[in-house]
Amino acid sequence: MTMMMSFAKTARKGRWKMRRLKFAKGLLRPVISGDKKITLRRYKAEAHDFNVGDVILGIFEDGLSIPLLVTKDTVAKRFSELTEDEAIEDGFSDSQSAFEGVRKHYPHTAMFWFDYMAVIRFEVLKVEGIPVISYNSYDEGEKVR
């Protein structure tokens, strides 16, 4: 059974709920265009362990939600092991600015270079080449959990 057939069958039975990743305002366009296919997060095992083929829901503060197909297993490693290429791929100028960028999204949590991060690679789920997109409650001014 293909991944899409399995996804559709499970979704029809109502037993399936997508895991979610939140994205800051301004990241919707680069994700839809395919310019952004990686996200760096402070690693949390139950939240960031994805496997190739998983479908997760990207919740964008821009007001849309997009199913994302995980293209590689999550890589968990220390921030100090982040490569310059990975930082640049996520839109940062270097690994130091990537660390600072991730750190600002977790203002109430102390973060250090020896802490673990998650490197998550994905692409927008498409049907016949068209991105699958829906509005979310950010569009209505509500916070999404």
Q: DSSP string of 21-84?
A: EEE-TT-HHHHHHTS--EEEEE--HHHH---TT-EEEEEETTSEEEEEEEEEEEEEEEGGG--H
Please name which of 103, 109, 41 lies closest in space to residue 76, comparing C-alpha atoms: 41
Using DSSP, state whether 121 is helix, strand or coil. Answer: strand
* CATH number of 3-7+16-134, picked from 2.40.30.10, 3.40.718.10, 3.30.70.580, 2.30.130.30: 2.30.130.30
For the chain, the domains span 3-7+16-134
pLDDT at 11: 54
| Positions of the chain with pLDDT lower than 70, given as ranges | 1-16, 137-145
Distance of alpha carbon 123 from alpha carbon 38, whole angstroms:
8
